[in-house]
Amino acid sequence: MFRSRFHCPDCGGSAAYRSRRRTFLEKYIQPFFLLKPVRCANCYLRVNASAFIPARDREHRPHPQAAA
């Protein structure tokens, strides 16, 4: 049921980044089911994965207006 590594269902990639929890369901319900949102590093598909799967931290890019 739970995998030890991330596997993208779309492209088959194995690299994942953490994604922000956005909705009520993601913030309060999915943690009870040990799920977290992650994004594939290859195709950027956003999926829910086991909380035990390692995922890299999100890359923080400067806001486009902040650079101006």
Digit-coded pLDDT (tens) for 11-49? 888 888 888 899 998 899 899 999 999 999 888 889 988
C-alpha dist (Å) from residue 15 to 7, 22, 27, 37, 59 = 8, 21, 23, 14, 13
| Cβ-Cβ contacts under 8 Å for 59 (sequence gap 6 or more) | 17
pLDDT band at 2 (very low <50, low <70, confident <90, very high): low
Identify the pLDDT of residue 12. 85
Give 3-state DSSP helix, strand, coil % of the chain, rounded to 5: 20, 20, 55
Could you tell me the maximum CA-CA distance found in the chain, to the nearest angstrom?
Answer: 48
For the whole model, what pTM was predicted? 0.71
pLDDT band at 3 (very low <50, low <70, confident <90, very high): low
Domain boundaries, the chain: 1-57
